[in-house]
Structure 1
Amino acid sequence: MTVSGAAGRIARIGFCTIIPIVLSGCGGTSGFEPKTSDNGTMLGNLIAFNNLNVGPAKPAAIEEKLECPNVEVLDGTASLRTYAGADQSNASVKYQYSLGDVVRECSHVGSNLVLKVGLEGRVLIGPAGTAGSFTAPIRIAIRNEKTQQVILSKFYRIPVTVPGGQSQGDFSLVSDPIAVQFVSAQAQEDYTVVVGFDEKGTGAAPIAKKSRRHMR
């Protein structure tokens, strides 16, 4: 992503540290306390009810249980800072993006494995920044675990607003359906979903397995 070069409840942070992203379980990360409803997490429901609508899957009775690919957030891509000028001290931080909850859903559709990725994040205003409108640059890529090559990469610019008088704003994304070749029901052995901030927004995602945290 240029994810190779360059979330715990997040309050207004002292800009001396990067808050680590902690991933756990099949559902996602503990980067933010999940927003819950009677049916589960809000983000999980958003993915579940926004149907893939790409055709009928094979009947569950004749198909082995599908294991979705794992998710990785690579070192240096769980957060992204912007500074005022060349000075990169804490006092010069204008704003910082941080990833929160990350979830994924997959299905076997014909000859394809179809994935959707959902994520939440936050922008925090720094000592040198002001409230306003921002755009969070996120890249989602799929890595082939056999070849360690990125086979598909999508870049998103997610709008987020921090109202006047506030110090932070939240954003979320549910990706478009992402189709790759179906290899086996053990899809976690075939592919990995790579997610992170991509400041430049150009090029492909990294291929190295250097995850800050790993989700199964």
Structure 2
Amino acid sequence: MRIQLAALKVAASATLAVGLSACSMGNMFAPGPADSTLSTASPTQAELSAVNALPAIATECPPIKVRQGAQALFNYGNGRKGNARDLNYQAVIDQESRNCVVSNGLITVKMGVTGRVLLGPAGNQTNVTVPVRFVVERDDVALFSQKYEIPVSITPPAQSNDFVKVVENVGIPYTGGENIVIWVGFDG
């Protein structure tokens, strides 16, 4: 046991020595001034640097999920809902994504979705509008909810086309410990 403890102390001392020696090496990959010295920033310089610093990227960006039952949208003709032969078109969500930045207790979210509209057996539409809703919930309470009508053009002889919707600058106050979820899905 004593031998293991002594070996750990030696390893820790060696690691610390290597780390400290690296601090005094400077930048060995880029040449600097011949008489380069370390200096300490003045309080004014430090304050200005803090103000101009880029915001930190959130380490725990809320997950984005497709709401159950809202991952596909079906449009039927002749009032025959559920009859495959009367399907005009179907829209599906293929992928969802988000990106977050944290600054001053605020999570700023950029979220998006990609999907596809496919014509069915009864479909001959060249323009379709799909309703997509984004919701941000904190502890099951909606902080943001917005429906977007996304136009999709289908140029014959094509039978499908993709769509993309990106929503930017959605601010979420963050205090820590909350359960925040971003939901997306068809709203129609």
Aligned counterparts of 2:64 and 2:85: Cα–Cα separation in 1: 33
Question: After superposition, where does 1:101-112 map in structure 2 within 5 Å?
Answer: 101-112=95-106
Q: How far off its partner does 1:94 sit?
A: 0.4
Aligned counterparts of 2:123 and 2:150: Cα–Cα separation in 1: 19
3-state SS of the aligned residue for 1:177? strand
Q: How far off its partner does 1:159 sit?
A: 1.4
Task: Report the equivalent of 1:8.
Answer: none
Aligned-CA RMSD value: 1.9
Q: How far off its partner does 1:57 sit?
A: 4.7
3-state SS of the aligned residue for 2:168? coil
3-state SS of the aligned residue for 2:121? coil
Residue 145 of structure 2 corresponds to residue 158 of structure 1 = no
Q: How far off its partner does 1:174 sit?
A: 1.0
Task: Report the equivalent of 2:36.
Answer: none
Task: Report the equivalent of 1:77.
Answer: 70
Task: Report the equivalent of 1:180.
Answer: 172
Aligned counterparts of 2:76 and 2:53: Cα–Cα separation in 1: 48
CA contact (8 A) 1:57 1:108 kept: no
Aligned counterparts of 1:128 and 1:93: Cα–Cα separation in 2: 5
3-state SS of the aligned residue for 1:91? helix
Aligned counterparts of 1:59 and 1:72: Cα–Cα separation in 2: 24
Aligned counterparts of 1:82 and 1:162: Cα–Cα separation in 2: 15
Task: Report the equivalent of 1:98.
Answer: 92
Question: After superposition, where does 1:13-162 map in structure 2 within 5 Å?
Answer: 57-58=54-55, 66-88=59-81, 89-145=83-139, 148-162=140-154
Aligned counterparts of 2:131 and 2:63: Cα–Cα separation in 1: 21
CA contact (8 A) 1:143 1:193 kept: yes
Change (3 A) 1:75 1:59: closer
The TM-score, its normalising length taken from structure 1, stands at 0.59
Residue 182 of structure 2 corresponds to residue 193 of structure 1 = yes
Aligned counterparts of 1:59 and 1:179: Cα–Cα separation in 2: 15
**Count of aligned residue pairs for this structure pair:** 136
Moved over 2 A (4+): 55-60
Aligned counterparts of 2:98 and 2:168: Cα–Cα separation in 1: 12
CA contact (8 A) 1:80 1:98 kept: yes
User: Structure with the greater relative contact order (CA < 8 A, sep ≥ 6): 1 or 2?
Assistant: 1
Task: Report the equivalent of 2:7.
Answer: none
Change (3 A) 1:128 1:87: same
Higher Rg? 2
